[in-house]
Structure 1
Amino acid sequence: MAKPGESVLLLSYPVQAGPSPYRSISPIFVRESAESQYVGYDEIPAQMSPRLMSVRALDHRHHIVAADVVQGSQLGSLASGFLPSATYPICTSITHVGDVTSGGSIGHRS
């Protein structure tokens, strides 16, 4: 997390880049002096746990097939339930996880 007064770079991130009515681009901030990057697979970053999050799951046409709002601490179980399963056999990705209170985009998983 950037400290007050620290320089950050404002970049664009294609949250939903596929041809869809839900196509969107979101801003992200990157610390200019960052010396390392966060790399996490199959884990939920700790800063997401206390937040109220929205999650959208999409099919191969980039259409929403499932969506929910949950506490960040419940993201793992919700996401694993959204990925291809008997309930959502056509879901191909969890494409958008956003902080409900700020409207910000937090992550993308294909």
Structure 2
Amino acid sequence: MNYFDYTSGSKVSQALSLVKEAKAFADRYGLERLDHLTGFPSVAENIANTQLNHSDLEILTEVETIGLKLNSTLVSLIMECTIQEVRYAIAVVEQARKRETLRNPEGLFYRVLEKKCKSNGFGF
């Protein structure tokens, strides 16, 4: 008797896909990096719901690469936004750094991303 449903939409198939994504990420960036990123609640929640993919982990890495320190609030917002919106916020922070010394680059990143991601087209 087979207790597992291996159909393409099954939880087992989704979990196997998630494991493949995690392995590909770990092969590229290292296990320590994967472990660090999966420590954030919103990342862990997406893993539990098998909704996390390789691009989610890569965009978090891109944010850290420019020197921003991730916290659970930033990670939650990043996970709600598109990759293009996150990259836009990254570009804004990088441009601002060229003009002046930023006291709180994470705060600027958050404000830009929140406005870009949560905007409904009416400015509020």
Tell me the TM-score normalised to structure 2 length.
Answer: 0.26
| Greater percentage in strand | 1
Greater C-alpha Rg: 2
| TM-score, normalised with respect to structure 1 | 0.28
Report the structure, 1 or 2, having the larger helix content: 2
